[in-house]
Amino acid sequence: SASPIMEQLIFFHDHTLMIMLMIITTVMYTMISIMQNKQTSRYILEGQMIETLWTIAPAIILVFIAMPSLRLLYLMDEVHNPTLTLKAVGHQWYWSYEYSDFTKLEFDSYMTQEQQENTFRLLDTDNRIVLPVNSPTRMIVTAADVLHSWTVPSLGVKTDATPGRLNQVSFSINRPGILYGQCSEICGANHSFMPITIESVT
């Protein structure tokens, strides 16, 4: 992962997976035990205790899943004193960016047409976003024509770009390198050809 939020998302995935594995193991063990056991209980048709248990147990399990999930939702929505603000505007079928904190800098970012050495096919752009490492960054995302979605999976960021609406998301990149993303909202014929490339520098 390339951001603290993505690390938290991975931990939450592992936490939920462990709960699911425990449930599957318990259910499989119970099924096999019942299939191998030839005896039957007189309380099998109606048992107040077992019905109470299998109502309360799922509720407790859901609480153990919901609490970390809600914590993550609030963490992802927080904007921590950003040192840099970047505006992204989705177009059919490219992104345009605007740095407005310092001297106003605007540029368009198109997918590279020819594959060059040390680049990924359909993922590299002619103009990359350059962002500093370990600096809280605020992204303001909108669209000029139709719905788009600004998504960088390794940062744990996915924000809808809606015409006439400004959405914001914050993140901090914790390692230098090149990060790739894509538009994640079907936006027309060339939806697959509007990548996002971020170069994080120290």
What is the reported pLDDT for 169?
Answer: 92
Is the distance from CB of 29 to CB of 180 less than 8 angstroms? no
pLDDT digits (tens, 9 = 90+) for 165-202: 999 999 999 999 999 999 999 998 999 999 999 999 98
Question: Binning pLDDT at 50, 70 and 90, where does residue 54 land?
Answer: confident
In this structure, the number of other CB atoms found within 10 A of the CB of residue 134 comes to 13
Q: Which residue has the higher pLDDT, 120 or 159?
A: 159
Q: Is the dihedral of CA 81, 167, 149, 163 positive or negative?
A: negative
65 has pLDDT over 70: yes
Report the C-alpha dihedral over residues 90, 92, 94, 98, rounded to 10 degrees. Answer: -30
In DSSP terms, 177 is beta-bridged to: 200
CATH among 3.40.470.10, 2.60.40.420, 3.90.1010.10, 3.30.450.20 for 84-201: 2.60.40.420
Residue carrying the six token digits 């914050």? 170
In this structure, the number of other CB atoms found within 10 A of the CB of residue 183 comes to 26
pLDDT digits (tens, 9 = 90+) for 79-113: 778 889 999 999 999 999 999 887 788 999 999 88
44 has pLDDT over 80: no
Name the burial class of residue 181, with classes exposed (0-12), middle (13-18) and buried (19+) by CB atoms within 10 angstroms of its CB: buried
122 has pLDDT over 90: no
pTM for the predicted model, two decimal places: 0.79
- For the chain, which residues make up each domain, given as ranges? 4-77, 84-201
| 45-49, 77-81, 135-139, 153-157: least confidently modelled range | 45-49
Tell me the C-alpha distance between 166 and 202, whole Å: 29
What is the reported pLDDT for 60?
Answer: 95
Angle at the Cα of 146 from the Cα atoms of 142 and 147, rounded to 5 degrees? 60
